[in-house]
Structure 1
Amino acid sequence: MTADASPVSGSPSAPAVLRYTAFSADPLGGNPAGVVLDATGLDDAGMLAIAAELGYSETAFLTALPEESPAGGGRGFAVRYFSPKAEVPFCGHATVASAVALAERTGPGDLVFETRAGTVPVTVTEENGTLRATLTSVEPQVTDVAEDDVREALAALGWPAADLDPALPPRISFAGARHLVLAAASRARLADLAYDFDRLEALMRRLDLTTVQLVWRASAGVFHVRDPFPVGGVVEDPATGAAALAFGAYLRALGAVTGSAVLTLHQGEDMGRPGVLTVELREGDPRVRVSGAGARIPDAG
């Protein structure tokens, strides 16, 4: 067992759980995730118990694909993601964390993650000693959201409708997981987040949402974002790769960006865990890419 791995339950037979942060090269920034590089033999209850005890917004559980499979060869993995309360189909920051953990052991390069949302290619590069992972989404979908549901979301957040940015209307966007996108008209509105946990959770469960993606546009290509995550048992997610992918798809669907574009999303500043997510849109490719740095979180023991 390496210094960055420990059995959560303290049992010698428990799988090693690694702790990494994603979308920051600083262990104190970004979004922490649990990573189990060999989940062979773990059932659903076992994975959920590990995720709940660890307490991070998500933990990724990897199982190497057979050598003969199309994504095998030691670079392909089946991946499942669990929050402290439930399994989620896809998680961006835990994907980045897992890819960085693998790259530290086998080197940078291309990986393939088979998730419940679909196949996710990941590329890890090293820049000045820092590992960065770029993941490519499944094909996204953006749909309208009912006015009554928007009103309920605003009521749960305690946001007046006048505090929304009319240039970025509410939508539900999917790029591996479903997110309701709400745009604040000011940075101050985004910074003031104190919401009704149970009320927002009930709405999100009814709409099958993973997070609510709250955004403020600082400039044409720079945004500040926050992600309430009550359905995962977490008040707020510090850096949300799946929501960043969905947001890129949302902007493209609105026509707010055209052709190829690179966006910078700042998240976690209001939580004291700043992170940076880089979103890339490529002309002619409906998929969205998100990239960020990752770093091991030193073992507390």
Structure 2
Amino acid sequence: MDWSFAIAEAQARIAPHIRRTPVILADLPGLPEMELKLEHLQHTGSFKPRGAFNTLLSRPVPAAGVVAASGGNHGAALGHAARALGYPARIFVPELAGPAKIALIRATGADLTVVPGVYDNALAAARAHEAETGALQVHAFDAPATVVGQGTLFAEWEDQGLSADTVLIAVGGGGLIGGAAAWLGTRRRIIAVEPANAPTLNRALAEGPETEVAVSGVAANALGARKIGRIGYDLCREANVTSVLVADQDITAAQALLWRALRQWVEPGGATALAALNSGVYRPEPGERIAVLVCGANPAPDPLAETQD
């Protein structure tokens, strides 16, 4: 597959439906100057609408509509995209998605089912619904159209003048890091950052793509896939992606830093890439130009939940 060509096509395809999110130069206390792409300002508060819109605009959608399993952000994005394009959507989420993300999905008008257990349990339910109804399954991370859609983020970032030598990106199931690897290849160094309590890609790179891990911790409802997607895994191998792990306390410290220094309130998954720098897990070389993706803005609990009806 010519990933670069597919991503360029997708970028034009989805442009009317997504926000071109801002990039800023940030001088954070104790850290070198870095580029931050504020993708948490995307529709529904994450990068996920890129893959959702690309899928729905590049494939025929049956009368039964679309179905997906999600830890939260993918479900909200697919619900938003389906509503914008006039399709019914059925979303299955595990209980650990949490009330804020569950409320966000419901607000899109999608038909939502909360499933006991973890993401894999929600995926099994979504596949059963697909088999029963013929709905189009939109995988959260391990599908070409999803990975291509997420890759548009990095094409857009380069259009905006990305100058970094190294880009730090949080990893869950592998759709986002796969999109980064598909577009950037080895032209820039890619650092994959995961919670130590959800080391999905890290373990797979060490032990093989079928490796499954237990997931827990503060970012589990965003970065909690038990097994990495095979597409993302293969692309990371080809792009020589480097994997690092951060502790939960490092993630929450990065959350606090983004709020205190920049007044950007993000979910733990959205702060995970920055945590690698802020904690010293990743130390740039002298003169190394750094960029960090801030990818999600749906914390639990919702800070304004008590003021809403």
TM-score class, shorter-chain normalisation, is: under 0.3
TM-score (norm 1): 0.28
Which structure's residues are more often helix, by fraction?
A: 2
TM-score (norm 2): 0.27
Which structure's residues are more often strand, by fraction?
A: 1
